[in-house]
Chain A
């Protein structure tokens, strides 16, 4: 699909984006920078839709596409706190494949312009039936019947490995928290081998109100990002939450790579 064809379409600016219309009546509607993030299924509405096609954009952002009808295709490009919805209609139901290709191509090349690397969320399987609270740079998950049942899991957004001074301040402010009034030395790190590799340490001690408390912090890393997740619970209970925490860790999908990052191989001829 050559998107240069869009240069011949009529453009109409709208308060939330724009609409392009072709001479033969196809429309391409873009709702730009919509907030807050919502489930894609909810945005598509109650209609029966085809199978969801998930993909990664050239910028390394998550995107998805569904056909709502033969003449109606919708895609979402997901940002950190907002999304762009791309929707195309045609009056010619024979052009379903073409319409899907159009929307997919626009979405795949869609310029959210958020930049890489940056502090950002990544995919993992949320703990089932746990409540969540969005906090700056992380999501807190609370066990069912919390706080009587004391388990809580914090999944921190991925942090760039090369973030240096601001990254250090970010750790002080938002990641490294000491809930202990007194604590034993951390356990020997246990290797964590999931989609990214790292280690987990367990620290037990007492909180300021004297409660025996245990924190397990898992830190994984690839060449671009650091992934930190933490399980906390009263000491007698922490073991019971390990399967839930493990399930979160094994479900981690690393931050998608942008296709725009320079490939070192392309410069190899300079040194040969």
Chain B
């Protein structure tokens, strides 16, 4: 199962996460699809705030749909240090694909790089789609496929 976003750049992988240097000073991460919990708001908050909620400042949250009509939530936030200085500009993009969620994240060192990255990924996000294929069997007929 994977979140398919047609990024035309080479990716490096950290575990199951594909990372693209989308523009100078900003990366774009595509995470594996995960089962969605019943409480989507909490899921989204935990994703954006992580283990250090005090260091995260939410700037804006918006709801949208992909070209295919999958709901997508976009949350822009800033990560700050103890002194309140911004250490990272982020945009979390959470797709709702039926029972599953797709996650993509922009991380940037500057506001300008973050804006440039968002401009670049916007049309890609619009074309995002799920690939629910796991290789597991969902119908008995698939057992006999290939013969």
Please report A residues at the B interface, Cβ cutoff 8 Å: 36-42, 49, 51-52, 54, 62, 64, 66, 76, 78, 121-126, 131-135, 139-140, 142, 145-148, 155
Contact = CB atoms under 8 A, between A and B. Distances in A.
24 contacts: A36-B137, A38-B135, A39-B137, A39-B144, A40-B143, A40-B144, A40-B146, A41-B147, A42-B135, A49-B147, A62-B143, A64-B144, A78-B140, A121-B140, A123-B140, A124-B139, A124-B141, A131-B131, A133-B99, A133-B100, A142-B132, A147-B69, A147-B70, A148-B67
Nearest to B67: A148
Contact of B143 (A39, A66, A142, A148): A39
Contacts of B136: 36-38, 134
Interface string B70-90: 100000000000000000000
Interface residues of B, number: 24
A121 B143 CA distance: 12
A126 B69 CA distance: 24
Nearest to B71: A147
B147 A52 contact: yes
Contacts of A37: 136-137, 143
Contacts, number: 79
A41 B141 CA distance: 12
B41 interface: no
A167 B135 CA distance: 31
B140 A146 contact: no
Contacts of A76: 143
B51 interface: no
A76 B137 CA distance: 14
B42 interface: no
Nearest to A78: B143
A121 B139 contact: yes
A41 B145 CA distance: 7
A132 B138 contact: yes
B6 to A, nearest CB: 15
A133 B98 contact: yes
